[in-house]
Amino acid sequence: MVDLFNKIIAFLLALLMPLGAKISFSKYYDSYRTVFPQGGVQTADAELYYDFAHPTEKPKPTDNLGRDRDFTVRMAKNETEGCQLVVSTDAAEKGFLIRVSPAKNAQGKTLSASVWKAAYLDIEGHGDVFSGEFPDPLIPYGGEAVTLEKNRSQTFYIEFRADADADAGEYVSIVSICDENNVCVKDARITVTVWNFALPETSASATAVGLNGSLFPLAAGLPYDFYGTNTWLSFYDGSSTLSPEQEEVYKKYYDCLLEHKLCAFFLPFDLLDPRAEEYMNDPRVTAFCIPYPKTDDEKLVRYYEKVTSNELWESKAYFYPVDEPFDADRIDNFDAIVERLGRLCPGYHMVVPFGDYEVTDHNGNLRTATGIEENTVDILCPISDYLDEIRPWIDEREAQGDRLWWYVCCGPSDGSGHCNLFTFQNGLKHRILFWQQRMQNVNGFLYYETCNWGFAGDPWTNPVTYGAATDADEAGDGLLLYPGSKIGTTDPVVSLRLKDVRDGMEDFDLLTLAKEKLGEKETEKLIRRVTRGMTKYTDDPAVFFAVRNELGEKLSQAD
């Protein structure tokens, strides 16, 4: 997408306007577009235009279109990668549809193609003077007609999948843009290049993300249940029993996250349920949380004995019964828990996310976050903007065998310059976060929630998902999935940001392979062309994808 011209015009016009009028300038949008159309590549229908965009871009419906007639997607085997198609019209109203063929190579082999239609959320105070609408929910698209208003665009997300046994080489998909009479007015071409190596089935990074049991009312009109609830409200302790209907919905959401390389804290089935073992053995499942019965010692021991009976299960399993112990009450709780675990579950693995804070406990002792976790927690998980500050301590702990994860949440803020997952951010930030994770040699990613709908009420209409006291600067925090009930299904609706996170995880695997096959020095050179520090990174998708493509080509040659 090319919206530089739009930004320049908007900036010049904004300078001429009183400060209080800036936020209402969008009412002049139609007049502006009579002089400056959105652009794009014209089809055989003189009223329909299109453009392609990188998967990390977030085209607002008022943005100018560029002139990318065709597009190229590059990926490894056992990887999924996509692009976006943006369609606009200068007619008062225009119907159209698109069709996307599987990508086919010269031998007739194909790669599957999936298509979604973007929905838009209005995020107050962000965007530009024309619009604060950002694409995020991705609605499955089956070729139905879409109606466009004049000078407003519609974005489609197009995704291709290369299985581990796919042939390397070039494939071609045809994107047919058709008018309201289903007459094809343009056949555009997406070239899919599959590199000659495969990503591993098991990601190099562990993941642990929230999947709140409060999803049930909005997702399927079912009763609320604390199963898997996010960490700062309560914990699943093994006492809840889901109804078959709740179980089915929770499994759909868990599986959706897993397809996008994220592992929810709690499996779809209780660890003592034999059905859980399929997930515990699944190579895609990199981590899962052990329930923590607060008063039932016998059940706690049963959980622990089961996961430690199998070396693979033990390597994935962790306790997470305390979150961010930043006040005296949480410290008391933390102290009691680690004493109990040490007594009943010797050798336990535990993660407790933490930031930069000092706390005076109830005994009057001043305790630092790192001091609290010293010799009690073996999966270290600082917030991303605290890692550099405590790097010597981290190095010491890793030398003693501790693992290193990290997390983001409502912080670090966008204003700090750090990468995060807010809806209004440049999508490159979501993806570069995982290049920074590889740069920092962090081997796990934690995110407190993916369905944080409780505060929003309806995330389809309210993008501010983190509490009534916060504003749009945290829009999308804890929200990577939308309730499918909005479109008449109990399936989850994925977000554009979830796709970026999945792609970032796959980039992490690419970079991990590069360290093995190209060497650490060469890999670091490539990373530094994308990000040189936690607040120093490119915001240009052309630069990012040029480096990523070079990385893929070098790995192909190495094999």
Task: Answer whether residue 323 is part of any domain.
Answer: yes
125-139 pLDDT, tens digit each: 999 888 899 999 999
Q: Has residue 314 got a pLDDT over 70?
A: yes
pLDDT (0 to 100) of residue 28: 72
pLDDT (0 to 100) of residue 12: 59
Helix (H) or strand (E) holding 397: helix 391-399
pLDDT (0 to 100) of residue 465: 85
Q: Has residue 456 got a pLDDT over 80?
A: no
Residues 277 and 190 in one domain: no
Residues 375 and 513 in one domain: yes
Residues 148 and 189 in one domain: yes
- Here the tokens at position 219 are 């997702």
pLDDT (0 to 100) of residue 536: 98
Of all residues in the chain, what percent are helix, strand and coil, respectively (each to 5)? Answer: 35, 25, 40
17 falls in which pLDDT band (50, 70, 90)? very low
Q: How far is CA 533 from CA 67, 432, 436, in A?
A: 33, 11, 8
Q: Has residue 73 got a pLDDT over 70?
A: yes
Could you tell me if 116 and 138 are in contact, meaning their C-beta atoms sit under 8 angstroms apart?
Answer: yes
pLDDT (0 to 100) of residue 27: 66
pLDDT (0 to 100) of residue 22: 43
Q: Has residue 438 got a pLDDT over 90?
A: yes
DSSP 227-289: TT--TTT----S-----HHHHHHHHHHHHHHHHTT--BSS-SS-TTSTTHHHHHH-TT---EE
Task: Answer whether residue 535 is part of any domain.
Answer: no
Percent of the chain with pLDDT over 70: 92
State the average pLDDT for the chain. Answer: 92
- Here the tokens at position 334 are 């933390």
Residues 146 and 233 in one domain: no
Split into its structural domains, the chain has a count of: 2
Stronger pLDDT, 356 or 19, i.e. the higher one: 356
Residues 358 and 499 in one domain: yes
Task: Answer whether residue 242 is part of any domain.
Answer: yes
Q: Has residue 207 got a pLDDT over 60?
A: yes
Domain, as residue range, for 302: 206-519
Task: Answer whether residue 548 is part of any domain.
Answer: no
Residues 125 and 228 in one domain: no
Residues 384 and 434 in one domain: yes
The Cα 390–Cα 169 span in angstroms is 45
Q: What are phi and psi of 203, to 5 degrees?
A: -65, 150
384 falls in which pLDDT band (50, 70, 90)? very high
11 falls in which pLDDT band (50, 70, 90)? low
Residues 388 and 275 in one domain: yes
Could you tell me if 206 and 86 are in contact, meaning their C-beta atoms sit under 8 angstroms apart?
Answer: no
Q: What is the CATH number of the domain that holds 442?
A: 3.20.20
Task: Answer whether residue 106 is part of any domain.
Answer: yes
Q: What is the CATH number of the domain that holds 66?
A: 2.60.40.10
532 falls in which pLDDT band (50, 70, 90)? very high
Task: Answer whether residue 537 is part of any domain.
Answer: no
Q: Has residue 68 got a pLDDT over 70?
A: yes
Residues 96 and 216 in one domain: no
Q: Has residue 34 got a pLDDT over 80?
A: no
The Cα 160–Cα 116 span in angstroms is 12
Task: Answer whether residue 538 is part of any domain.
Answer: no
pLDDT (0 to 100) of residue 495: 98
5 falls in which pLDDT band (50, 70, 90)? low
Domain final residue pick, 198, 221, 245:
198
Residues 50 and 145 in one domain: yes
Which amino acid, one-letter code, is at 119? A
Q: Tell me which of 163-167, 237-241, 529-533, 553-557 is least confident.
A: 237-241
Average pLDDT over residues 109-129: 95
Residues 184 and 327 in one domain: no
Q: What is the largest CA-CA distance in the chain?
A: 77
160-177 pLDDT, tens digit each: 999 999 999 999 999 999
Q: Has residue 248 got a pLDDT over 70?
A: yes
280-291 pLDDT, tens digit each: 999 999 999 999
Task: Answer whether residue 529 is part of any domain.
Answer: no
Q: Has residue 298 got a pLDDT over 90?
A: yes
Residues 159 and 243 in one domain: no
Q: Has residue 269 got a pLDDT over 90?
A: yes
Domain final residue pick, 167, 198, 229:
198
